[in-house]
Amino acid sequence: MPQPDRADVVAITGASGRIGRRIVGRLDRPGRMLRLIDTDLPDRLEDDDRWGPGLDADRVALRRASIEHERDIRSALDGADAVVHLAALASERPWADILRVNIDGTQKVLEAARLGGATRVLLASSIHAVGFADPTDAATTRVLVPRPDTFYGVSKAAVEALGSVYADRYGMSIVSARICNFGAGDRPGSGRGLAHWFSPADAARLVEAALALDDGRHHIVWGVSANAPNAFDLSAGRAIGFEPQDDAFALTADPDGVEPEPYTPSGPIGTMFTDDEHPLGGTW
């Protein structure tokens, strides 16, 4: 099999995680090599169906590596043109753990991507980087300034800052995606969950938009679908070619005409994670 051009090698950290499992299959296509990076991987692609059926083993490479280990992640990212960085602690943890994995780990990934020749990177940020923002501001402001609601949210604000410095210093095209309520299934929940829903298909569309960039800049965009309440200003994403197509409220429409639970914005967009029931450094 001919080796793909350098520009066709896409590395995905955290490929076995909740988001990775749902988007890897959607990124597979002729002429592209996917390099799946995680600490939990099968010995062979054929031995595992965690990414769903239909992945072409000839276009997929498996690399066991931790983002905490500089030598391993540099080897895993060497020669990749683009990096989709999903690996992280995905919820609140003690500060030392958040610092070690989410912040130091992301710096190691970006440095390895730079040294390995990658020119495009998508970083998984989070709504929790701006969790204390007001819903009205989220709906009307192109890019909110960081207002993290937890140490986890602080780490995602730091991820965005790292993306900015690597873009400005080295001319890499980097997108920080403030992921909202990622849909682990094909159908969202109700109420606020509908307004914040991010479908797997739209997540893949956002990755493709990031992979097509070549402007040497850093962009902060919402990782959310085009849900009917218009709870988020989607203009920054559309400016880089990300046009979400799914609408949680349309997907949950009852065949008998019963409307889904309405979305009534109230309180900070980080919801319960801004209150005393979720103390800094606790676990979710």
Dihedral, 132, 137, 141, 143 alpha carbons, nearest 10: 0
pLDDT at 1: 42
Total tally of structural domains belonging to the chain = 1
Identify any residues that bridge with 123 across adjacent strands, giving them in sequence order.
85, 176
**109-163: pLDDT as tens digits:** 999 999 999 999 999 999 999 999 999 999 999 999 999 999 999 999 999 999 9
Q: How confident is the model at residue 257 (pLDDT cuts 50, 70, 90)?
A: low
**57-92: pLDDT as tens digits:** 999 999 999 999 999 999 999 999 999 999 999 999
Contacts of 142 (CB under 8 A, 6+ apart): 233, 235, 236
Does residue 168 lie within any of the structural domains? yes
Domain at 176, CATH number: 3.40.50.720
pLDDT at 256: 60
pLDDT at 34: 98
**178-213: pLDDT as tens digits:** 999 997 555 666 788 899 999 999 999 999 999 999
How many other CB atoms are there within 10 angstroms of residue 177's CB atom?
28
pLDDT at 6: 42
Task: Please identify which residue in the block is written with the tokens 């896409």.
Answer: 10
Return d(Cα 28, Cα 272) in angstroms, integer.
37
Does residue 204 lie within any of the structural domains? yes
Task: Please identify which residue in the block is written with the tokens 């955290």.
Answer: 14
How many other CB atoms are there within 10 angstroms of residue 187's CB atom?
10
Does residue 279 lie within any of the structural domains? no
pLDDT at 191: 84
Does residue 281 lie within any of the structural domains? no
pLDDT at 258: 64
Three-state DSSP at 199 gives coil
Does residue 284 lie within any of the structural domains? no
DSSP label of 7: G
